[in-house]
Amino acid sequence: MSSPSLGQRVSLALSSFFRILSDAEFAARVDAARAPAPELPPPSTPPATLASPGVSTPPPAPTRAEGATSLLALLQRRARLVDFVEEDLAAFSDADVGAAARAVHDGCRDVIREHFTLEPAHPGDEGATVTVEEGYDAGRLRLVGAVGKPPWRGALRHRGWVASSTRMPELLAGADPRVIAPAEVET
């Protein structure tokens, strides 16, 4: 696979840039993805084990860090998200940044839709007036603004998201889980 051209990379960068500006949840996810991953030990060859014929030993479950880097690798591979975020956009015009952001947005959306089934955290329409009773699920709903005593009544500003299912690819055996994208050398 060849690297995208500068114009394609700028287009990718800009689409993400504008999505980050207009979508606080997306911005939070990008910010979380940029956080340094916990230090993983270097890959090693596991000690040989003897197994009975016909009995397979399941691979160890991936760690949280491996799952996070796996998702970031998908976003890099399909949307060049890391390239976009790491690019210095000061030298590019707003039009170039917008074009790049559109391509990054499309790639990120494709990855999310392929690997997650998303549903609203709240069933109401954005802008609708809702009443929140004491004892609400704080994991699904966040009160913002001047919070007084319950019950709270206000406008639903964002419905939130819940991943009702996740379909992540298996990690390749023997692959370094810290690698988001390998370096490419064209010969």
pLDDT at 34: 67
- Specify the pairing of strand 161-166 against strand 152-155: unpaired
pLDDT digits (tens, 9 = 90+) for 19-68: 676 667 766 777 667 665 455 455 554 544 444 555 555 556 667 778 88
Domain positions in the chain: 1-37+63-117+169-181, 122-159
The tens digit of pLDDT for each residue in 99-140 reads: 999 999 999 999 999 999 999 999 999 999 999 999 999 999
Task: Give me the chain's average pLDDT, please.
Answer: 81
DSSP-assigned states of every residue in the chain:
-PPPPHHHHHHHHHHHHHHHHH-HHHHHHHHHHHSPPPPPPPP-PPPP----TT-PPPPPPPPHHHHHHHHHHHHHHHH-HHHHHHS-GGGS-HHHHHHHHHHHHHHHHHHHHHHEEEEESS-SPTT-EEEE-TT--TTT----SS--SSSEEEE-----EEEEEE-PPPPPTT--TT-SS------
Tell me the pTM. 0.60
